[in-house]
Amino acid sequence: MAKRRTELEARLLEEHERVLTVVQRWQSEQQAVDEVRASLADAEARLDKAVLEGADLGDRSMVARLLDVPEAQVRKAIAAARRSVKQRSADGQSGNAEPPSPSRPDPAGDASGSSNVALAATNDAEEPTSPKHRVVS
């Protein structure tokens, strides 16, 4: 009876160690995901800033190249960048450091944030575009 109990305790300890290993792996993966999200939020903020600087200069073709969208859709992309910057600054004042989630998923399946919302909004635009300005996906 004592031998059986010792075997069960040993198996329980092994299983406990496996669970701890899985939990530690999950925690390290979550930390990596958090770091990537923070990096992505920084990159999106820099992209929004560049879009707004291009808009301030009145250089629609530069913004179109920066976002890889037709020039006819730049106006909507600039408006989306302005909204993102405004939302980010409002979140910063309220103490919420997390980037806002997109209002709809990106067509590529990447729900990564504000700049993708701008791209998704411009790609879904109902504005007619000429064939020479069409974005090939």
pLDDT in tens, 72-95: 788 888 888 888 888 888 887 776
- In total, how many domains does the chain have? 1
Show the domain range for 19: 2-133
Closest CA to 82 of 57, 113, 114: 114
* Least confident range of 46-50, 103-107, 129-133: 103-107
Task: Tell me the pLDDT band of 96, cut-offs 50, 70 and 90.
Answer: low
Report the mean per-residue pLDDT for the chain: 73
DSSP string, 25-90: HHHHHHHHHHHHHHHHHHHHHHHHHHHHHHHHHT-HHHHHHHHT--GGGHHHHHHHHHHHHHHHHH
Question: What was the pLDDT predicted at 95?
Answer: 61
Query: What region does 68 belong to: left with phi over 0, alpha with psi -120 to 50, or beta?
Result: left
Segment among 17-31, 84-98, 119-133 with least mean pLDDT: 119-133
